[in-house]
Amino acid sequence: MQVSRAFKAGCAILIISLAATSQSHAGMPSFALRDIYRLRFQELSFFIFLLILCAFLFQLMWNHAAKGFSFLPSLNFRRSLCLVTLFGLLMLLILTMISGIRELLTPGAWRKQGSTYRLNDPAQESTRKRSIDHLRAALFEYARTHDGRFPPHDFTSEIPEKLWESPDQLGSHYIYSGGLTTNKTRSVLAYEPPNFGSQRFVLLSSGEIILLTGDQIEAKSQSAPGK
């Protein structure tokens, strides 16, 4: 079976775009996309490549099955691509409906973590609080030996890297405000990253650990120190 010209042209364009890399041109000016746009372009190119590959395989399987059934028409690549795209959109619609129904039946039971969602288990709160409590102990031990000053940043070698990791699947770092002292008792010292949902544990420079929403954390971080 001969592959259609459209499939050959699409594969050629995708191979060129995927193989293209930044090169130096003997001092000539060159322009490149920013990293974030380059990554998005690579993701989109890979998605299009998979779509074309699925359409090609679907065409092969369909035409092979059509040989045994006279009532099935043969399928060219263009129609195969349209069918695969339609099936993909239908699956996306079904998954969106499932996600919406799940949220309606269990409101507030799920929180976004990375690119997926995780169940808000009340038992996890004790683990989260214990984790940030360990970080608190390390920060205040550092301040005790540095005239009441907390670390200027979260890369200090005196605090183990593991303590900066929150208890999620990604090991996300706590968000830290460096340069504070124990005298500024109401300042936000560290808090959980956004993937822990709307209610996050916050460590104040007084040593108190409280639960705040994202808006409350932002407002408290922007307020004057010492309040």
Cα dihedral 176, 177, 179, 181 sign:
negative
> Do 91 and 42 fall within a single domain?
yes
206 falls within a domain: yes
Burial 101-114 (b: 16+ CB within 10 A, else e): eeeeeeeeebbebe
> Do 145 and 63 fall within a single domain?
no
* pTM (2 d.p.): 0.50
> Do 181 and 150 fall within a single domain?
yes
Contact between 169 and 114 under an 8 Å Cβ cutoff? The reply is yes
Q: In sequence order, what are the residues at sequence separation of 6 or more whose Cβ sits closer than 8 angstroms to the Cβ of residue 227? A: 186
Q: Which two tokens stand for residue 142?
A: 């550092």
Distances (CA, A) of 62 to 51, 85, 227: 16, 15, 70
Of 70, 105, 140, the one marking the end of a domain is 105
Residues of the domain holding 40: 5-105
115 falls within a domain: no
Q: pLDDT, tens digit, for every residue of 160-206?
A: 999 999 887 777 889 999 889 888 878 899 999 887 877 889 999 99
> Do 69 and 160 fall within a single domain?
no
> Do 86 and 146 fall within a single domain?
no
Spans of the chain, pLDDT less than 50: 1-3, 21-22, 24-27, 31, 224, 226-227
The percent of residues above 90 in pLDDT, for the chain, comes to: 32
Q: pLDDT, tens digit, for every residue of 142-159?
A: 999 999 999 998 888 899
227 falls within a domain: no
Q: Which two tokens stand for residue 203?
A: 């460590």
> Do 217 and 127 fall within a single domain?
yes
> Do 147 and 99 fall within a single domain?
no
111 falls within a domain: no
How many structural domains compose the chain? Answer: 2
